[in-house]
Structures are given as C-alpha cells and as structure tokens.
Amino acid sequence: MSEDLQAFRLRAREWLAATMPRAEASADDGPGDGRDDEAWVRARELQRILYDGGFAGLCYPQEYGGQGLTPAHQRVFNEEAVGYEMPLLLNVPTFSICAPAILDFGTEEQKRQHLPAVIRGDEVLVQFLSEPRGGSDLAGAITRGTRDGEVFMLNGSKIWSSNAYAADYGLCLVRTDWDAPKHRGLTMLIVKVHQPGVEIRRIKQVNGNMEFCQEFFDDVPVPASDVLGEENGGWAVASRLLFHERTAVGGGSPYVSGPPGVERSGEAEPDLLELARAGDRLTDPVVRELIGESQVLERVADQLAVRVTDGISAGELPDAAASLLRLFMATSNVRRTQIGLEVAGPRAAAWPPSDFRDGGSYGVNFLFRQGASLGGGSSEMSRNLISERLLNMPREYAADRDVPFSQVRQSKTPAR
C-alpha cells in the first residue's frame, strides 16, 4: 500500500526544510561556457542526499533502490521542493529517459547493476542516438556493432548527445545486420563512455553553451551481455526511449525530481510578473494580457501532462499519446518565448552581465525557441505519430520500407 499523499506531503515538507539547501539565484546565471564540472559533482551530491533521506527514485521499484511510490507522490514531492536545491541536471536524460528504458528492457543483472547506481547518484546516463548524416531518420543509423564471439566491436559516430562528457554509460543504437530492413537490423548497447577507443568532442553553441557532444568510436569492445533488449531488436528499445523522451519533454515524466515548470536546462525562467514590474510595465493592459496567456499555456500543459500520463498508465490511452504532450509543449514553448521577448522589451537584447535573468534570458530563449521542436523527434514527426497511431490515418509513404539496408542508397558520410 502506498503512503497516504497528505502524510507523504507533510513528511517531505519537514525533511526538505531540515535537510536540503535552499536554492539561490546566482549572479552568473547566463549561458554556460562549458566549465561546469562542479555542477555535475554537486548534482551527484544532492542526489545522494535524496537517496539517504528516502526520497530518491520515488517511482522506481524498491528492489532496484527506489521507493515504489506513485506518480502522484512524485508530483507532491516536486511541489514541496520549490525553493530548494535539486539535482536537476540528472533529470534528462538519466532519470526520465535512459533509466526507464533499462527498467523496461534490461535483464535482471542490468537492472541491478545500473538502476541502484543511478538512484544513488553514482551513475549518469546518456543517449547515443543521432548521427552526423542521419537527420530525423534514426532508424537509418550506420554506426556499426560487429559481433565477434561474445563481444561487439563498435565503430562510427554519434552526435547531439546532451552532456555525454559528464556521463558514465550511454545507450547506443548500432547496426548489427546490414541485410535486414533498416528497422530490423539494429541493436541497443549499454556502452561505457570513458574507455579507450571513445573520443568525445564538445560542441560550442552560439550562446557559449557546450551541452552537446559528438562521439567517435574506434574498435570499442562491448560485451554481448550489455545488449539492452534483444540483438537486432534495438528499434523496440529506441522507440521506447523516444516515448520516455516525449513524455519528459512534455512535462509528464514520473521520474524527475524538482520544481514544476523547470526547463530541460535545469533552470527556471524568471517570473514574467517580476520582469514586468521591474520594467514598470505591469499596469500596461497589453502586457497583462500577455502574462495571462503565458500562465494559461503553462496551466494547460500541466493538466495535459497529468491527464495523458495517467491515461497511459491506466491503459486508457496508447503510448503514442505521449506525442500530444510533446507537440503541445513545442508549440506553446515557441509562443511563450515570444511573449517573454515582448514583455522584456529592449532588455531582452542587451543587459549588464549581472542582470542576465532580468530580461536577457528571454532574449536567449527566443533565439533557441525551436529547440523544443526537436527533442524527442521533430514536431512534424509528432504530428505523424498522432495522425497514424491515434487517429488511424494512412501511414506516410517510405521508399525504403522492407528493403534490405545494404541495398538502400546512402549519402556520403561526412569526413571526420
């Protein structure tokens, strides 16, 4: 029997007040410059505090180090966690995407090796999915996993892997059968990130952030015991990863800890009301209308996340319904960044170094507004999933369906 929600809320409130440090806004809250190793050390420390207090992995089974509670308990904890320092960096993709996939597809040995370590804060996980030549065609992966007895030799490259440099293990989609159609010749491997043959290059974005990485694999041995799911059955695992990612991006993951409304980067935006008040625009009826619209979009997103995730958990909605969350979050995020830009006014374009959060973050968010339309697959892909798997519309034509991958015409691989 799960603990009563009100009793759990009171227990969490008391423990948080007695144990967790209060979150403090830093004067240097601008875009990261890549020198953020201390942030990852701190995130692991905070996760260990949650673990020692019995508040880590609330929705993970007890046999793997979790608490075996419900998504409602996690939502209550997140509400009470507002104002406290939390290990937000671990939410995506470790807790909300990769670890749930191991829970879904892992062997008993894999679950017992990785899940307790994740919940303690000892392991950080990453996705190795996209490739330099792949675009949105994830199933067209050409990174090779060549089997040699009980070992797969890994060769190729992955890209746009968020925070791979800070991770311990990666879930890597590789091609293991070139004569099968592209969706049926893939395997998911659990790869140790920092080992001989793995090179990680960080990618510097225009705002100085270095979250994204590209990885190069040169004859990296991966034990066959580290296949997640089945050999040549990797597309099922990848599809599940994408389900968890769409749910997380849409705000519906039951596995994340931290205040509601915190973005993927791990930092909440400054409050629009405070922003308008600081600019002496709070009495402007147009500004008030914009702020109201933003708050309505946020409330709809929260309620939609609860409705869809509860519906999927109860079997009333198919897993593909997670694309509804993903699509609404993407479209509403674009609108909310536009609203933030309008409310911030000139301060969104120029600001003193110490006042990044006073308007500047909205300017940067506006430049990156389309990013929310890419995580977990593009918005166009979400619309395809909704039309085909929820509305039962005809499937989009694909020229390479059921064709052996070795016979599919390939573009040239970019030079290293």
8 Å CB contact between 365 and 333: no
With pLDDT > 70 as the criterion, what percentage of the chain qualifies? 91
The single-letter code of the amino acid at 169 is Y
Residue 352 has pLDDT above 70, yes or no: no
CA distance 88 to 90: 5
Residue 86 has pLDDT above 90, yes or no: yes
Residue 139 has pLDDT above 70, yes or no: yes
Return the higher-pLDDT residue of 260 and 16: 16
- What pLDDT is stored for residue 358 in this prediction? 60
Of 60-69, 245-254, 299-308, 383-392, minimum mean pLDDT range: 245-254
Return the higher-pLDDT residue of 60 and 273: 60
> What is the average per-residue pLDDT within 139-150?
96
Of 66-80, 111-125, 290-304, 341-355, minimum mean pLDDT range: 341-355
Domains by residue range for the chain, with CATH? 11-122 (1.10.540.10), 127-238 (2.40.110.10), 241-390 (1.20.140.10)
Determine the distance from the C-alpha atom of residue 190 to the mean position of all C-alpha atoms in its chain, rounded to a whole number: 18
CA distance 358 to 83: 19
8 Å CB contact between 198 and 217: yes
Give the model's confidence band at 290: pLDDT under 50 very low, under 70 low, under 90 confident, else very high: very high
- Which residue, chain included where needed, has tokens 């003193």? 352
Return the higher-pLDDT residue of 41 and 136: 41
- What pLDDT is stored for residue 353 in this prediction? 64
34: Cα within 13 Å, side-chain hemisphere: 14
- What pLDDT is stored for residue 377 in this prediction? 74
In terms of DSSP bridges, do strands 151-162 and 144-148 run parallel, antiparallel, or are they unpaired? Answer: antiparallel
In terms of DSSP bridges, do strands 125-128 and 169-175 run parallel, antiparallel, or are they unpaired? Answer: parallel
Residue 27 has pLDDT above 50, yes or no: no
Determine the distance from the C-alpha atom of residue 117 to the mean position of all C-alpha atoms in its chain, rounded to a whole number: 19
Give the model's confidence band at 364: pLDDT under 50 very low, under 70 low, under 90 confident, else very high: confident
Of 43-57, 353-367, 388-402, minimum mean pLDDT range: 353-367
8 Å CB contact between 171 and 227: no
Of 18-27, 121-130, 196-205, minimum mean pLDDT range: 18-27
- What pLDDT is stored for residue 33 in this prediction? 46
Of 53-62, 109-118, 209-218, 251-260, minimum mean pLDDT range: 251-260
CA distance 161 to 81: 28
Cis before 93? omega within 30: yes
Closest CA to 127 of 103, 156, 159: 159
**Mean pLDDT rounded to a whole number for the chain:** 88
Annotate the chain with three-state secondary structure.
CCCCHHHHHHHHHHHHHHHCCECCCCCCCCCCCCCCHHHHHHHHHHHHHHHHHCCCCCCCCHHHCCCCCCHHHHHHHHHHCCCECCCHHHHHHHHHHHHHHHHHHCCHHHHHHHHHHHHHCCCCEEEECCCCCCCCCHHHCCCEEEEECCEEEEEEEEEEEECHHHCCEEEEEEECCCCCEHHHCEEEEEEECCCCCEEEEECCCCCCCCCEEEEEEEEEEEEHHHEECCCCCHHHHHHHHHHHHHHHHCCCCCCCCCCCCCCCCCCCCCCHHHHHHHCCCCCCHHHHHHHHHHHHHHHHHHHHHHHHHHHHHCCCCCHHHHHHHHHHHHHHHHHHHHHHHHHHHHHHCCCCHHHHHHHHHHHHHHHCHHHHHCCCCCHHHHHHHHHHHHCCCCCCCCCCCCCEHHHCCCCCCCCC
Residue 93 has pLDDT above 70, yes or no: yes
Give the model's confidence band at 266: pLDDT under 50 very low, under 70 low, under 90 confident, else very high: very low
Closest CA to 364 of 162, 212, 207, 204: 207
- Which residue, chain included where needed, has tokens 């409330």? 299
